[in-house]
Amino acid sequence: MRTSILVAAVAFGIASPALGMGGGGGGGMGGYGGGSMPMSSGFDDYTTALRLIHHEKYDEAIPYLQRALQEKPNSADILNYLGYTHRMVGNYPVSLDFYQRALAHNPDHKGAHEYLGELYLKMHQLSSARDQLAELTRLCPDDCDEKDVLTKSISDYETAAATPAAPAAATATPAAAPAAAPAATSQPATASQ
């Protein structure tokens, strides 16, 4: 059934990243309607932004989301997607602001908690990411996609943080040894030049 819905959504170009990116939509279209028809006739700014996000054109989606936000300034979904797109283009302070605003409007927005947790990992704030996971555990004690995705992201972050320590030490030792050896032999060569 979910596959049929996803296929239909993609066919109409309205697939939410929530369907393929860990549940960030927190309500898909969120009941959003109206707006201009900028990219394709029949699509409002929010729908156009979702299409661009689906195609990983995050920087192009931002202006559409900004216009959608002007029409629906209290939409946690739009604020969440603004946080997401800014995170994806590397603008972490702006992303953080949008996630916090989304959660101010809807403290139980699962997608915003998941994405905020992922932002905290990008900012190397593991304890804050774990706080978002605790919120998701509260919101969906059994299971939900957002909780599963953030759990995996935290696990991957911890694994990556533990793994580079060994290769970095191994890399530093061989690099230091050749540098020391040529320095001793290169002094006479430098003097003769």
- pLDDT digit string, tens, across residues 27-41: 333 333 333 334 444
Q: What's domain 2-53+73-162's architecture? A: Alpha Horseshoe (1.25)
- pLDDT digit string, tens, across residues 64-119: 999 999 999 999 999 999 999 999 999 999 999 999 999 999 999 999 999 999 99
Residue 171 exposed, middle or buried by CB count within 10 Å (0-12, 13-18, 19+): exposed
Would you state the pLDDT for residue 164?
59
- Per-domain residue ranges of the chain: 2-53+73-162
Whether the full predicted model's pTM is greater than 0.75, yes or no, is no
- pLDDT digit string, tens, across residues 7-24: 334 344 434 443 333 334
